[in-house]
């Protein structure tokens, strides 16, 4: 018998933490953050305290209290017991979106994490370039350790106690075992690289977990193959996402490309676009739009870093095929309008850089940023100001301040991201509109976004084709839509959140 405990992903989009158990094996599908629960209590400057270990997260219902899964430092620090062995045998990650991976940070390092190579690269980017706390995905830095002082009596705080997690990269359709279970990763199409479904079996039952998927991305053949293989496995249990179970149609990347080329063709000024940072298929779309309209795509340092990690994937543009935007940070010594005082004389940034210290302006940047800035395809706000017609500038919410330097004229702003689905996003959306008004950027927001999720009819058809005995809808706020599958002899079971 397989039993399943749902600790998230129930009546909400994301937050999947699904524990599969038989007599002596148990593992999780995903261990993500539930946005709705997090947004109920938290905001940008109201966050859980590390000082309270895992307790703030548990108090707010963000993490379940389960013995034997959390990291030693966060338990011992608040006087909670730390069992010698983990109580689960692994965590299988479907993809590296926050709502599926974020809370890996809290897990003990000896719990094996299974994920695709691309998911690992995305986590590496999040870990190395992110500013967020609680983002130790691949390596864990133990907190609350004191070490003897090198000189003199006493102890000092030890800042670096890094241990590697037990990471296992899974290959498409290659069997691996966790206790009683034989499992396989089945890659699917979703709005970032490396998304996968999983199929698993023990002696009695077969289970299929979709993760998040779609059929209208650049690689529908992946999802098609998953459906075929899942059907062949004759699953007794299927756990299926239903984000867009209520939607009837899809926009795809080719629609976006066509529409965007038309819009960009009519624009004489700067084209500003906002699309999700880790959606490399969307990056590719706007890379192609830029090619078709004789412009260059300009990406942020963070997105350039992701592209660098994905250099061996021929699908995506090379780092030298896009432009990298150098923002003003720290002292902001970029261009002719910034000065620093040298020997009581205020000198312009370009003079300081040329005459005094060629690397001076680089000191404002982190090491990973400096390496990227060594490329010769780096540009600044000056370039975008002087030749706006040559560029498509990717600019997300946090980069809107760059518009103050760029001061675009006659430009357009293409919104190529999801519609707001909570209060915070609504508020931010209003702020974006204020910025656009201030800088006279015309907002284009009709159908420039393709969802990462299959629409209702596709999901129903997929489930009917795979034909499990039991179906658990997750990652949806419209579970009732699945009930019509009862007519097909499928037992639809609504999960209860533990």
Binding site for Zn ion (CB under 5 A): 14, 99, 212
Instruction: Render 163-176 in DSSP notation, one character per residue.
Output: EE--EEE--BT--E
Query: Would you call 473 helix, strand, or coil by DSSP?
Result: strand
Nearer to Zn ion, 25 or 37 (CB): 37
Nearer to Zn ion, 89 or 99 (CB): 99
Q: What is the smallest separation between the CB atom of 135 and Zn ion, expressed in angstroms?
A: 18
Q: Which residues of 23-40 are buried (b: 16+ CB within 10 A; e: fewer)?
A: eebbbbbbbbbbbebbee
Q: What is the smallest separation between the CB atom of 270 and Zn ion, expressed in angstroms?
A: 33
Q: Cα-Cα-Cα-Cα dihedral of 319, 313, 178, 21, to 10°? A: 70
**Among 460, 409, 396, 463, residue whose Cα is nearest residue 230:** 463
Nearer to Zn ion, 187 or 408 (CB): 187
Q: What is the smallest separation between the CB atom of 455 and Zn ion, expressed in angstroms?
A: 16
Q: What is the smallest separation between the CB atom of 212 and Zn ion, expressed in angstroms?
A: 4
Q: DSSP H helical segments within 51-167, as ranges?
A: 55-59, 72-76, 98-101, 117-129
d(CA 199, CA 185): 7
Nearer to Zn ion, 212 or 257 (CB): 212
Nearer to Zn ion, 295 or 453 (CB): 453
Sign of dihedral through CA atoms 491, 496, 497, 498? negative
Q: How far is CA 341 from CA 53, 351, 358, 362, 389, in A?
A: 45, 12, 16, 17, 35
d(CA 132, CA 99): 15
Residue holding tokens 């990650």?
Answer: 93
d(CA 46, CA 342): 41
Q: What is the smallest separation between the CB atom of 13 and Zn ion, expressed in angstroms?
A: 7
Q: What is the smallest separation between the CB atom of 475 and Zn ion, expressed in angstroms?
A: 6
Residues forming a β-bridge with 324 = 299, 378
**Among 7, 11, 6, 8, residue whose Cα is nearest residue 479:** 11
Q: What is the DSSP letter of 106?
A: G
Nearer to Zn ion, 11 or 212 (CB): 212
Q: What is the smallest separation between the CB atom of 172 and Zn ion, expressed in angstroms?
A: 20
Nearer to Zn ion, 14 or 242 (CB): 14
Nearer to Zn ion, 14 or 317 (CB): 14
Nearer to Zn ion, 102 or 283 (CB): 102
Q: What is the smallest separation between the CB atom of 95 and Zn ion, expressed in angstroms?
A: 8
Long-range contacts of 285-291 (CB under 8 A, 24+ apart): 285/253, 285/256, 285/257, 285/260, 285/416, 286/260, 286/392, 286/394, 286/416, 287/317, 287/321, 287/322, 288/257, 289/257, 289/260, 289/261, 289/264, 289/392, 290/391, 290/392
Q: What is the smallest separation between the CB atom of 30 and Zn ion, expressed in angstroms?
A: 8
Nearer to Zn ion, 14 or 112 (CB): 14
Q: What is the smallest separation between the CB atom of 462 and Zn ion, expressed in angstroms?
A: 17
Q: What is the DSSP letter of 322?
A: S
Instruction: Render 282-335 in DSSP notation, one character per residue.
Output: HHHHHHHHHHHTT-EEEE-HHHHHHHHHTTT-TTSPPGGGSEEE----TT---S
Q: What is the smallest separation between the CB atom of 238 and Zn ion, expressed in angstroms?
A: 17
Nearer to Zn ion, 14 or 193 (CB): 14
Q: What is the DSSP letter of 354?
A: I
Q: What is the smallest separation between the CB atom of 100 and Zn ion, expressed in angstroms?
A: 5
d(CA 390, CA 217): 28
Contact between 386 and 335 under an 8 Å Cβ cutoff? The reply is no
Nearer to Zn ion, 212 or 279 (CB): 212
């Amino acid at each position: 018998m397989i039993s399943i405990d749902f600790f998230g992903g129930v009546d909400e989009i994301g937050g999947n933490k699904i524990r599969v158990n038989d007599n002596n094996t148990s593992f999780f599908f995903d261990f993500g953050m539930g946005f709705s629960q997090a947004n109920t209590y938290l905001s940008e400057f109201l966050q859980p305290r590390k000082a309270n270990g895992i307790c703030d997260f548990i108090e707010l219902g963000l993490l379940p209290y389960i013995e034997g899964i959390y990291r030693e430092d966060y338990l011992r620090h608040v006087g909670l017991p730390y069992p010698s062995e983990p109580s689960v045998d692994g965590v299988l990650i479907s993809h590296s979106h926050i709502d599926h991976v974020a809370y890996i940070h809290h897990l003990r390092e000896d719990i094996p994490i299974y994920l695709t190579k691309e998911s690992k690269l995305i986590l590496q980017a999040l870990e190395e370039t992110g500013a967020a706390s609680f983002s130790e995905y691949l390596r864990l830095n133990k907190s609350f350790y004191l070490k003897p002082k090198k000189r003199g009596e006493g102890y000092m705080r030890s800042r670096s106690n890094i241990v590697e997690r037990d990471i296992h990269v899974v290959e498409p359709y290659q069997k691996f075992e966790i206790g009683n279970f034989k499992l396989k990763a089945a890659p699917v199409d979703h709005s970032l690289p490396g998304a996968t479904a999983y199929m698993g079996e023990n002696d009695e039952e077969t289970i299929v977990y979709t993760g998040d998927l779609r059929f209208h991305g650049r690689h529908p053949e992946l999802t098609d193959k998953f459906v075929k293989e899942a059907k062949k496995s004759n699953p007794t249990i299927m756990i299926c996402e239903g984000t867009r179970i209520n939607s009837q149609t899809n926009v795809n990347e080719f629609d976006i490309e066509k529409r965007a080329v038309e819009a960009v063709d009519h624009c004489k000024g700067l084209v500003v676009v906002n699309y999700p940072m880790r959606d490399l298929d969307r990056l590719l779309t706007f890379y192609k739009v830029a090619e078709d309209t004789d412009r260059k795509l300009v990406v942020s340092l963070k997105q350039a870093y992701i592209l660098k990690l994905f250099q061996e994937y021929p699908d995506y543009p090379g780092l030298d095929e896009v432009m990298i935007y150098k923002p003003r940070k720290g002292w902001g010594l970029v261009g002719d309008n910034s000065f620093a005082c040298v020997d009581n004389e205020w000198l312009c940034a370009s003079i300081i850089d040329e005459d005094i210290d060629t690397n001076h302006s680089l000191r404002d940047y982190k090491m990973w940023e400096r390496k990227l800035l060594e490329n010769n395809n780096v540009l600044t706000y000056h370039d975008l100001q002087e030749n706006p017609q040559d560029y498509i500038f990717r600019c997300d919410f946090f980069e809107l301040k760059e518009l103050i330097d760029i001061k675009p004229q006659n430009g357009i702003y293409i919104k190529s991201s999801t519609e707001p689905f909570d209060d915070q996003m609504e508020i931010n959306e209003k702020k974006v509109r204020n910025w656009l008004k201030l800088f006279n950027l015309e907002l284009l927001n009709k159908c420039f976004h393709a969802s990462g999720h299959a629409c209702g009819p596709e999901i129903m058809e997929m489930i009917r084709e795979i034909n499990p005995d039991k179906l658990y809808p997750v990652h949806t706020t419209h579970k009732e839509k699945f009930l019509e599958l009862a007519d097909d002899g499928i037992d639809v079971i609504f999960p209860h959140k533990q």
